[in-house]
């Protein structure tokens, strides 16, 4: 035993102890090589060339979809998943031309009385399981959406849907109206008649789809795996064999996954990081025009905000350019209309008001609150751009005697406060899912629409309602444009909402991913994406 | 001590009896946990409903009519009084049913179950790593008391304690995942090797936060033990230094360290959310955040209850471990 003592010195013991600890810590290094889960950051985009078929892309999103049932979804992640699973008769153009273009239909005709729309289906359409897609399936899908609680509002103009033959769908409307936006709507995505005899839960757990992809597995809240629909109507598309939609809510973590090439696409690159991502070899930033507009909603039940001069003074005092520069790092656009520039029938003559404190003070002086007032300003706690905008607005309004108290709420609480009219001033946003302002204008101005912003702002303006009605009850594009121009002008005059800015969709991609297309409606076209090796 | 002596001298104090006694204490502790769990259900049930936000409106979106929203609230039972809702919740809970997730349309137990693995991995792995770091470092620091190594360990412990976990996690990702590409940036990985590799950095992030506390506790205890008479006797008998340290000193010093580790693991159970978010892990913490934001009442209630039970279980396991290491300390 004594020799043992001389051999194992204290120093040697310490060395061994540390070595054993280090070995335990280091063992995953070896295992990580076996796992093969580590991407190389050295990959760079080769020459694009013609689209290549094959490969599997990973797409890191902020959140998971809640549902993939077209008639039940209301959040963007679900809507954009649905758009890649269930095709519609028409869909929004991928460019910013504000049009709807044929998808499952080849085109349409309109009856002389402008009440019946006839859509011709493409020949040989099939569901992802190979079964034929007929007009009966389209009728079932549109009727199902009309009856739905979440999305039925878009089909309000539809009186009836009929399958006049296997390849023709006739939709009759209550009044003459432009129906192309309606048939482009995600809620009218086509599913098999009767959901193939299954319950909704069973069907959407293993759906039969009409879009470019079908869903092979879904670990809710974690990942959704999409595989190519072999019977998609566009020959050769999609190019990718599959896509995994993962959930990475943290902005920094998502960006790191892109930098580590663990994700091929990431959603919502923070504006503060766009320049650094752009500068990094092997990465790209896709900045796509969006239909989103961010604005202030003013609750006219709060006495000072019931005065139109106060509201206009506030609009005149706000420095939108600074918000775009500091909040959006220059990647947005100041707004002067309650239509974003990408919306159909946007009135470009309504330029954003330049901050003019003298005008604002004059308006305040002649208002019912010439000495100013205090107002609570509610914003979304997780939105960095909103936080910056709020600080700028707080400073701007103090110049005209309005003392702003910024209050932050989680999105759900803020949404609830606006719906229940328990706010004074709040920042919120709107975007279009189809290229038709009808989706949002009644939501903005209808005083009787439950959950709408009209009741929240206590807005009841017969002039704007009349112009909106005229737009809805027309099939003439020029008449619609004229009516919506009046809607925008009137909203600017009475200022129940103060438009602030529009912002683009910002995606980061690895440069071996090509063809990632994001239309202004946000429903990215994964069918066009492809990977180089 | 009198009790210990009486137990030790009692003819009934056989190993079998000691095991039964310990089992009885475990059962008593488990029964004592029931009021705690019920308290957690009451608090969670009330608190989640106090936050403004209507899950029915969230689910149906802004365009749904008031009638549709009211109908959905009725279908979910949210239009009933709070006592009635709570009673229904308790009745279902007694049957092992946490209810149906309002948004995922699946049983809450199934949804929660699919998120358990990453969190359990995180807790166990970080506990192992913190022990792997702490024992050799604390032993070295105790043996080299006052020397540069010891001073360095104390300084680094202070620094490690002050490092915010998200920042540390991002640093580790930048270093080990992006610079030298030995670990994935995030995610849970696939297969056993994939999990071990993917969970290393998140677990190390947590371990670096726990290790300084463990090292400090272990070092202090070791210093005390190394000066004890029985250690001097052991050395005088000619035992190897390694044997003295491992068999005698560490064994006794570990008792306090186990308690410290247990307390930290109990804290970890509900504190993994930050690390899960940084590493994009689909764990219980991430699910809790999402569920609160969506106002998915059954999921929030189920998760809070699960966290409470896990904390109780970890505390109990710690006490059991301590009583095994030192039979003089009981479980009661």
Residue range A119-167, pLDDT digits in tens: 999 999 999 999 999 999 999 999 999 999 889 999 999 999 999 999 9
Query: Which residues neighbour B21 within 8 Å (Cβ) at sequence distance 6 or greater?
Result: none
Q: Which residues of B touch A409 (CB under 8 A)?
A: 52
Ranges of chain A whose pLDDT falls below 50? 1-27, 29-46
Query: Residue B190: closest CA among chain A residues belongs to which residue?
Result: A35
Asked whether the bond before A238 is cis by omega within 30 degrees of 0, the reply is: yes
φ, ψ for residue A229, nearest 5 deg: -85, 110
- Torsion over CA: A15, A21, A24, A29 (sign): negative
Sheet (strand A158-165) strand order: A105-110, A116-121, A168-173, A158-165
φ, ψ for residue B42, nearest 5 deg: -65, -50
Nearest to B177 among A29, A252, A260 (CB): A260
- Provide the 8-state DSSP code for A89: S
Q: Which residues of B touch A419 (CB under 8 A)?
A: 54, 57, 62
pLDDT at position A74 is 87
pLDDT at position A56 is 97
A149 in contact with B, Cβ within 8 Å: yes
Decide: pTM greater than 0.95: no
3-class DSSP state for residue B184? coil
Q: Which residues of A touch B193 (CB under 8 A)?
A: 31-32, 34-35
Mean pLDDT of the region B1-7: 38
Q: Confidence class of residue B10 from pLDDT cuts 50, 70 and 90?
A: very low
pLDDT at position B120 is 92
Q: Which tops the pLDDT comparison, B9 or B261?
A: B261
3-class DSSP state for residue A447? coil
Q: Do A260 and B242 touch (CB under 8 A)?
A: no
CA distances from A488 to A442, A452, A493 (A): 13, 18, 9
Question: Is residue B203 within a helix (H) or strand (E), and if so which, with residue range?
Answer: helix B200-226
The three state secondary structure string of A181-233 is HHHCCHHHCCCCHHHHHCCHHHHHHCCCCCCCEEEEEEECCCEEEEEECCCCC
d(Cα A272, Cα A251) in Å, to the nearest integer? Answer: 11
- Could you tell me if A505 and A340 are in contact, meaning their C-beta atoms sit under 8 angstroms apart? no
The CA distance from A37 to the nearest CA of chain B, in Å, is: 6
3-class DSSP state for residue A90? strand
pLDDT of B18-57, one tens digit each?
A: 677 777 877 887 888 888 888 888 888 898 888 888 888 8
Query: Which residues neighbour A177 within 8 Å (Cβ) at sequence distance 6 or greater?
Result: A157, A438, A472, A473, A474, A475
pLDDT at position A521 is 94
Count of all residues that appear for chain A in the document: 533
Q: Do B183 and A32 touch (CB under 8 A)?
A: yes
B168 in contact with A, Cβ within 8 Å: no
Q: Do A32 and B133 touch (CB under 8 A)?
A: no
Give the A:B interface size as CB pairs under 8 Å.
Answer: 236
Query: Residue B240: closest CA among chain A residues belongs to which residue?
Result: A5
Beta bridge partners of A517: A525
Q: Which residues of A touch B198 (CB under 8 A)?
A: 35, 37
The CA distance from A56 to the nearest CA of chain B, in Å, is: 16
C-alpha angle B46-B49-B50 in degrees, rounded to nearest 5: 85
The CA distance from A41 to the nearest CA of chain B, in Å, is: 7
B196 in contact with A, Cβ within 8 Å: yes
- Could you tell me if A84 and A232 are in contact, meaning their C-beta atoms sit under 8 angstroms apart? no
pLDDT at position B7 is 40
pLDDT at position A372 is 96
pLDDT of B76-85, one tens digit each?
A: 888 899 999 9
pLDDT at position B106 is 87
- Could you tell me if A527 and A481 are in contact, meaning their C-beta atoms sit under 8 angstroms apart? no
B148 in contact with A, Cβ within 8 Å: no
CA distances from A390 to A218, A295, A386, A407, B276 (A): 38, 11, 6, 10, 30
pLDDT at position B270 is 65
- Could you tell me if A356 and A462 are in contact, meaning their C-beta atoms sit under 8 angstroms apart? no
pLDDT at position B256 is 77
| A169, A174, A176, A178: CA torsion to nearest 10 | -60
What ipTM goes with this model?
Answer: 0.77
pLDDT of B177-210, one tens digit each?
A: 999 889 999 889 889 999 999 999 999 999 998 8
Mean pLDDT of the region B92-108: 88
* Nearest C-alpha neighbor of A57 from the set A206, A210, A227: A227
φ, ψ for residue A54, nearest 5 deg: 115, 175
Question: Is residue A121 within a helix (H) or strand (E), and if so which, with residue range?
Answer: strand A116-121
Q: Confidence class of residue B87 from pLDDT cuts 50, 70 and 90?
A: very high
d(Cα A278, Cα A509) in Å, to the nearest integer? Answer: 10
What tokens appear for B312 in the block?
């109780």
pLDDT of B259-297, one tens digit each?
A: 888 888 877 776 688 899 899 999 999 999 889 888 899
- Could you tell me if A296 and A491 are in contact, meaning their C-beta atoms sit under 8 angstroms apart? no
d(Cα B70, Cα B90) in Å, to the nearest integer? Answer: 24
A260 in contact with B, Cβ within 8 Å: yes
d(Cα A28, Cα B197) in Å, to the nearest integer? Answer: 5
The CA distance from A497 to the nearest CA of chain B, in Å, is: 17
- Could you tell me if B311 and B202 are in contact, meaning their C-beta atoms sit under 8 angstroms apart? no
From the candidates A12, A16, A19, A66, which should be mutated to test the interface with B, based on the most B CB atoms within 10 A? A66
Mean pLDDT of the region B111-131: 93
Half-sphere exposure at residue A400, Cβ-oriented, CA atoms within 13 angstroms: 31
The CA distance from B307 to the nearest CA of chain A, in Å, is: 19
Q: Do B69 and A451 touch (CB under 8 A)?
A: yes
Q: Confidence class of residue B230 from pLDDT cuts 50, 70 and 90?
A: confident
Lookup result for tokens 């990977």 = A531
B313 in contact with A, Cβ within 8 Å: no
d(Cα B276, Cα B317) in Å, to the nearest integer? Answer: 24
Question: Is residue B214 within a helix (H) or strand (E), and if so which, with residue range?
Answer: helix B200-226
Query: Which residues neighbour A516 within 8 Å (Cβ) at sequence distance 6 or greater?
Result: A265, A286, A507, A509, A524, A526, A528, A529
Half-sphere exposure at residue B329, Cβ-oriented, CA atoms within 13 angstroms: 13
Q: Do B57 and A201 touch (CB under 8 A)?
A: no
3-class DSSP state for residue B24? helix
Q: Confidence class of residue B14 from pLDDT cuts 50, 70 and 90?
A: low
What tokens appear for B169 in the block?
């996690």
Nearest to A38 among B52, B140, B181 (CB): B181
Q: Confidence class of residue B111 from pLDDT cuts 50, 70 and 90?
A: very high
Q: Which tops the pLDDT comparison, A252 or B8?
A: A252
CA distances from A407 to A61, A219, A410, A424, B197 (A): 28, 36, 10, 11, 42
From the candidates A2, A10, A23, A32, which should be mutated to test the interface with B, based on the most B CB atoms within 10 A? A32
Nearest to A253 among B71, B103, B277 (CB): B277
Beta bridge partners of A108: A119
The three state secondary structure string of A321-390 is HHHHHHHCCCCCEECCCCCCCCCCCCCCCCCCCCCCHHHHHHHHHCCCCCCCEEEEEEEECCCHHHHHHH
B84 in contact with A, Cβ within 8 Å: no
Sheet (strand A293-298) strand order: A333-334, A497-502, A293-298, A425-430, A373-380, A402-409
Largest CA distance in chain A: 111
- Could you tell me if A345 and A484 are in contact, meaning their C-beta atoms sit under 8 angstroms apart? yes
Q: Confidence class of residue B330 from pLDDT cuts 50, 70 and 90?
A: low
- Torsion over CA: A24, A29, A30, A31 (sign): positive
Q: Which residues of A touch B186 (CB under 8 A)?
A: 248, 253, 256-257, 262
B182 in contact with A, Cβ within 8 Å: yes
Which residues 250-309 of chain B have a CB within 8 Å of chain A?
Answer: 277-280, 282, 286-287, 289-290, 293-295
- By DSSP bridging, strand A265-266 and strand A56-61 are parallel
Q: Which of A49-53, A160-164, B225-229, B243-247 has the lowest mean pLDDT?
A: B243-247
Q: Which residues of B touch A74 (CB under 8 A)?
A: 59-64
- Could you tell me if A338 and A365 are in contact, meaning their C-beta atoms sit under 8 angstroms apart? no
A20 in contact with B, Cβ within 8 Å: yes
């Amino acid at each position: 035993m004594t020799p043992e003592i001389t051999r194992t010195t204290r120093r040697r013991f310490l060395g061994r102890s540390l070595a054993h600890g280090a070995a335990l810590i280091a063992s995953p290094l070896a295992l990580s090589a076996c796992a093969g889960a580590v991407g190389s950051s050295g990959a760079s985009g080769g020459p694009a060339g013609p689209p290549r078929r094959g490969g599997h892309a990973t797409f890191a999103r902020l959140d998971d979809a809640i549902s993939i049932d077209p008639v039940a979804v209301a959040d963007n992640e679900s809507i954009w998943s649905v758009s890649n699973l269930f095709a519609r008769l028409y869909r929004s153009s991928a460019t910013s031309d504000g049009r709807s273009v044929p998808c499952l239909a080849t085109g349409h005709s309109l009856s002389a009385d402008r009440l019946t729309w006839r859509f011709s289906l493409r020949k040989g359409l099939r569901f992802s399981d190979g079964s034929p897609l007929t007009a009966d399936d389209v009728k079932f899908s549109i009727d199902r959406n009309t009856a739905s609680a979440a999305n039925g509002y878009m089909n309000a103009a539809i009186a009836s849907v009929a399958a006049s033959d296997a390849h023709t769908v006739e939709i009759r409307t209550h009044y003459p109206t432009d129906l192309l936006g309606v048939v482009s709507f995600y809620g009218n995505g086509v599913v098999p008649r009767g959901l193939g005899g299954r319950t909704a839960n069973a069907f959407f757990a293993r759906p039969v789809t009409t879009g470019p992809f079908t869903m092979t597995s879904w670990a809710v809240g974690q990942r959704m795996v999409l595989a190519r629909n072999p019977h998609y109507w566009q020959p050769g598309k999609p190019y990718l064999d599959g896509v995994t939609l993962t959930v990475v809510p943290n902005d920094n973590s998502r960006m790191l996954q892109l930098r580590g090439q663990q994700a091929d696409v990431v959603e919502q690159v923070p504006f503060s990081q766009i320049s650094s991502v752009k500068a990094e070899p092997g990465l790209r930033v896709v900045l796509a025009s969006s239909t989103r507009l961010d604005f202030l909603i003013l609750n006219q039940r709060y006495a000072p905000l019931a005065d139109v001069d106060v509201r206009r003074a506030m609009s005149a005092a706000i420095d939108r350019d600074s918000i775009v520069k500091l909040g959006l790092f220059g990647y947005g656009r100041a707004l002067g209309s309650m239509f974003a520039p990408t919306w159909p029938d946007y009135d470009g003559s309504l330029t954003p008001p330049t901050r003019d404190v003298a005008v604002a003070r004059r308006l305040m002086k002649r208002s019912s609150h010439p000495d100013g007032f205090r107002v609570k300003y509610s914003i979304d706690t997780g939105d960095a751009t909103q936080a910056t905008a709020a600080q700028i607005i707080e400073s701007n309004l103090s110049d005209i005697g309005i003392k702003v108290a910024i209050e932050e709420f989680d999105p759900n609480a803020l949404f609830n406060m606006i719906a229940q009219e328990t706010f004074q001033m709040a920042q919120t946003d709107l975007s279009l899912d189809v290229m038709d302002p009808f989706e949002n204008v009644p939501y903005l101005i209808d005083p009787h629409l439950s959950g709408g912003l009209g009741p929240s702002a206590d807005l009841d303006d017969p002039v704007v309602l009349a112009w909106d009605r005229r737009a809805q009850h027309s099939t003439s594009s020029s008449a619609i444009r004229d009516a919506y121009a009046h809607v925008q002008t009137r909203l600017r005059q009475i200022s129940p909402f103060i438009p602030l800015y529009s912002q683009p969709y910002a995606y980061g991609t690895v440069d071996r991913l090509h063809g990632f297309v994001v239309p202004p409606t946000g429903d990215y076209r994964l069918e066009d994406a492809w990977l180089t090796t | 001590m009198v009790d210990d002596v009486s137990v030790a001298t009692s003819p009934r104090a056989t190993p079998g009896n000691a095991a039964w006694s310990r089992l009885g204490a475990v059962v008593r502790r488990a029964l004592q946990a029931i009021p705690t769990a019920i308290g957690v259900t009451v608090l969670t049930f009330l608190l989640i409903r106090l936050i403004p936000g209507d899950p029915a409106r969230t689910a149906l979106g802004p365009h749904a009519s008031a009638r549709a929203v009211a109908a959905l609230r009725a279908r979910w039972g949210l239009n009933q009084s709070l006592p009635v809702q709570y009673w229904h919740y308790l009745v279902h809970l007694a049957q092992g049913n946490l209810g149906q997730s309002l948004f995922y349309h699946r049983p809450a137990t199934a949804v929660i179950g699919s998120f358990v693995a990453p969190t359990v991995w995180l807790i166990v792995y970080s506990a192992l790593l913190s022990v792997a770091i702490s024992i050799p470092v604390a032993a070295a620091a105790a043996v080299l008391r006052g020397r540069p190594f010891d001073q360095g360990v104390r300084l680094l412990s202070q620094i490690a304690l002050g490092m915010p976990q998200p920042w540390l996690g991002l640093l580790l990702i930048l270093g080990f995942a992006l610079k030298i590409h030995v670990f994935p940036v995030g995610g849970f990985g696939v297969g056993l090797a994939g999990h071990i590799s993917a969970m290393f950095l998140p677990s190390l992030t947590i371990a670096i936060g726990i290790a300084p506390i463990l090292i400090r506790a272990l070092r202090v205890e070791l210093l005390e033990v190394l000066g004890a008479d029985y250690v001097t006797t052991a050395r005088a008998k000619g035992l190897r230094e390694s044997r003295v340290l491992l068999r005698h000193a560490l064994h006794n010093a570990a008792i306090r360290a186990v308690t410290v580790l247990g307390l930290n693991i109990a804290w970890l159970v509900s504190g993994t959310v930050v690390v899960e978010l940084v590493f994009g892990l689909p764990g219980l913490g991430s699910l809790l955040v999402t569920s609160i934001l969506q106002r998915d009442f059954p999921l929030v209630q189920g998760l809070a209850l699960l966290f409470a039970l896990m904390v109780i279980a970890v505390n109990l396991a710690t006490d059991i471990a301590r009583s095994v290491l030192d039979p003089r300390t009981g479980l009661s």
